[in-house]
Amino acid sequence: MPKFEVWMEGYLATGMGGVPSGPDRIAIVEADSFQAACDIVGARKKWSSLYEKETRSMWGCKLYPTLEEASDLFKGYKYRHPPTYSE
C-alpha cells in the first residue's frame, strides 16, 4: 500500500498582521488513495471535529499531497513560520 503525505495549507486570520502561517504536514499515512489517507487522518481524535470530507479540508484549510501544492495559496508571501512537519 502506498504512503501519502497529508499537507494542510497555511491560513491567514484576523490579528495575524497580514502574515500567513506556512503549510503543515499533518501526517504520513498508508492508504489506497490520497482521499482515503485524508479520511484516515480526519478520523483521528485530534482532527475528527475539524475534518470536512466533502471539501477535503481541516478547519477550513484544504489538504494536499505535496508541500508545493499546499504552498500555492500564499505563494510569494513571507510566512509567519516556515512549513512544519508535525505528526
12-63 residue pLDDT tens: 677 767 667 778 899 999 999 999 999 999 999 988 999 999 999 998 899 9
Output the pTM of the full model.
0.81
Tell me whether residue 60 is in a domain.
yes
Kindly state whether residue 81 falls inside one of the protein's structural domains: no
- pLDDT tens per residue across span 40-52: 999 999 889 999 9
Q: In the structure, what pLDDT confidence band is assigned to residue 3 with cuts at 50, 70 and 90?
A: very high
Q: Is residue 48 part of a domain?
A: yes
In a domain, 65, yes or no: yes
50, three cell numbers: 475539524
**CA nearest 51: which of 29, 26, 75, 74?**
26
**What range defines the domain where residue 11 resides?**
3-74
Number of domains in the chain: 1
Instruction: Using the Cα atoms of residue 73, residue 75, residue 77 and residue 78 in order, give the sign of their dihedral.
Output: positive
